[in-house]
Structure 1
Amino acid sequence: MELNFKHQLGLLCLTLLLPALCSSQDSFTCSRATYYGSPDCYGNPRGACGFGEYGKTVNDGSVAGVSWLWKNGSGCGACYQVRCKIAELCDENGAYVVVTDYGEGDRTDFIMSARGYSKLGRNTYASAELLKYGVVDVEYRRVPCRYGGYNLLVKVHEHSRNPHYLAILILYIGGTYDVTAVELWQEECQEWRRMRRAFGTVFDAENPPRGDIKLRFQLSGNAEQYWVQSKNVISGDWEAGAVYDSEIHLG
C-alpha cells in the first residue's frame, strides 16, 4: 500500500511539473500547429490583421494565423520560432513565422501557411511527410522580427477618405514590440488624440486634423511600455495607399 501511494504521488508530481518543464526549457512553450492551403502556398491577404498583400508575402510567405497570441490585434506582426517534435522529420531550428491573421484549429496555437509549415521539416521528404500529418506537436517562442533596411512604416488604408476619415496600417514592426496604441496631434487643442483600433493593426479616426499629421506610437515589449513619435508626418494631401516612413527603427 505504501509503495502504491508513493507511485501515485510521483505520478501526480510529474503531471503537475510537465507544464512547467514544457514552458521553461529555453523559453519554449508547447503547443500544436497545422496549416491552411493556398494555390501558391503563401498566406492569406484577407487576414484579420489587415495587412493585405504584405500579409501574404512578408517573410517570404512564412506566416501564420494564431489564436490567443493574436492579443486582440496587438499581436499582429509578431515573430515566432516554431519547431516540431518528431525527431526523424523535424529540423532542429524549425520555422520562423510572422503573425498576419487570427485563426483557431484543433487545439492549435498556429495555423501556418503551407510554405511556413513545410520549413518545419529537415528536408524535402520530411516536409512532405509533415504535410500529410496535418497537425503536429510543436514548441514555440517569441523572437525579434528583423527587417533589413526597413523602418516602421505607416500605410494609409484603402478605406481612407481625405479629409473626413483616416485609417492607417502599421508595417514592419521590428524587435519584439507590440504596438498597443496610436495617437495623432491636435494642433488646435495642443493635445494628443487617441486613434481607435479598428481591427488588427489598423487604427482610424473620424475628422482627422487638417494639414500635416503627426503620429506617436505606444510600444510594449521587454517588460516595458513607452511612447515614441514618428520623425516624419503624414502630408496634408494624403490619399489611400500612400506609405510613410516613420524613421523609427525597431530591432
Structure 2
Amino acid sequence: MGALQATVFFLFLLKVCEINAQNEDWKTATATYSKETNGSIITEGACGYGDLHKTSYGKYSAGLSTILFNKGSTCGACYELRCVDHILWCLQGSPSIVLTATDFCPPNYGLSADYGGWCNFPKEHFEMSEAAFTEIAERSADNVPVQYRRVKCARSGGMRFSLSGNSHFFQVLITNVGLDGEVIAVKVKGSRTGWNPMARNWGQLWHCNIDIKGQPISFEVTTSSRRTLASYNVAPANWQFGQTFEGKQF
C-alpha cells in the first residue's frame, strides 16, 4: 500500500469512528402527538411554564414519560429527535428537530404499552405538538419509533425570572435557560441579605420563605452540568409579584 493509499485509508477509518461515536449518542424511544389548535402540546403543563408561546418554547415542546421526566428535574432540557425504522411513517431522510421538555406524559396502566399506554413505566416516550410531529413523521402516523439525544439549548436573550408569592413566601419560575436547560439549584439574594438557597416547588418553580420586598433581587442558577451563573440586580427595588425580569445567559 502506497503512502497516499495509506493516508486515504486512515482518513476513512477516522470518519467511520466519528460516525460510530455520533450514533452511540442516540437512544431509542417512541413518540406521539397531541392535537392542539394553537400548535402547543398544552398550556399550564407539569413544568409550570404556563403559556408555552410566551416562554418561547411554543410548538417545539414535549411531554416526557415518567422515566424521562424524572419528577420534573428534566424540565427545560433539550432533546434532538428523529423518526427512524419505519418506511411508511418516517419522513424521507429522517430529519431531526429539537424539543424542550415542558410537561409530563402520565402513564395509563389500563392500556398496554404498545397501544395507548405509551408513557407507562419504564417506556421512554415523547408527546409532541402536532406541528412538530409532522416535521419528522406523517400526520397519519400514530405511535412512531424515534431516536433521541440530549443537546445544548439554544436560547435567544437571557434567562427569565417570573416572580410570585406573598410577604412570607417567595417563588420564581425560571425559563429560557441555555446550555443544559435543566436547573438543579437556585439561590436568591436581596440587597440586604446573603444568598438564600431555594427549594424546588414543582417543575421549574423554586421557592423559599423570605421577605425581600423593597430590595433589588439577584439570582444564582446552577445547571445539571454544574455550571453556575449569577445575575445581579435582576429586579429593581420596586419589583412586584407577577412581573418577569431577564438575567444573564449561559
Normalising by the smaller structure, the TM-score range is 0.7 to 0.9
1:156 to 159, 163, 182: 163
- What amino acid maps onto 2:127 in structure 1? I
- What amino acid maps onto 1:117 in structure 2? F
2:103 to 101, 104, 115: 101
Q: Is the 8 A contact 1:31 1:138 kept in 2?
A: yes
- What amino acid maps onto 1:129 in structure 2? S
- Inter-partner Cα distance in structure 2 for 1:214 and 1:59: 25
**Which structure 2 residues correspond to residues 66-215 of structure 1 after superposition, within 5 A?**
66-67=64-65, 68-85=67-84, 86-88=86-88, 89-90=90-91, 91-104=93-106, 105-106=117-118, 107-121=123-137, 127-130=138-141, 134-148=142-156, 150-157=157-164, 160-161=165-166, 163-185=167-189, 191-210=194-213, 211-215=215-219
- What amino acid maps onto 1:46 in structure 2? E
**CA shift at 1:43, angstroms?**
2.1
**CA shift at 1:111, angstroms?**
1.0
Q: Is the 8 A contact 1:82 1:140 kept in 2?
A: yes
Greater helix proportion = 1
Aligned pair count reads: 212
- Inter-partner Cα distance in structure 1 for 2:54 and 2:131: 11
Post-superposition Cα deviations, 1:140-199, rounded to whole Å, max 9, x if no partner, equal 011121123x11111114xx23x33221111111122421011123666x6422112110
Moved over 4 A (4+): none
C-alpha distance 43-83 of structure 1, shift in aligned 2 (>3 A) = same
Post-superposition Cα deviations, 1:24-47, rounded to whole Å, max 9, x if no partner, equal 724100011112222333221110
Provide the alpha-carbon RMSD of the alignment. Answer: 2.5
C-alpha distance 64-45 of structure 1, shift in aligned 2 (>3 A) = same
- Inter-partner Cα distance in structure 2 for 1:23 and 1:119: 26
- Inter-partner Cα distance in structure 2 for 1:33 and 1:76: 18
Percent of matched pairs sharing the same residue: 25
- Inter-partner Cα distance in structure 2 for 1:172 and 1:57: 7
Post-superposition Cα deviations, 1:70-123, rounded to whole Å, max 9, x if no partner, equal 2332311111111111235325222221111011451342111112211113xx
C-alpha distance 156-186 of structure 1, shift in aligned 2 (>3 A) = closer
- What amino acid maps onto 1:243 in structure 2? T
C-alpha distance 57-115 of structure 1, shift in aligned 2 (>3 A) = farther
- What amino acid maps onto 1:33 in structure 2? A
Q: Is the 8 A contact 1:42 1:57 kept in 2?
A: no
Secondary structure in 2 aligned to 1:154? strand
C-alpha distance 197-244 of structure 1, shift in aligned 2 (>3 A) = same
TM-score (norm 2): 0.75
Q: Is the 8 A contact 1:83 1:138 kept in 2?
A: yes
Alignment of 1:32 onto 2:30:
yes
- What amino acid maps onto 1:240 in structure 2? F
Where structure 2 has 5 or more consecutive residues not aligned to the other structure, the ranges are 1-19, 107-116
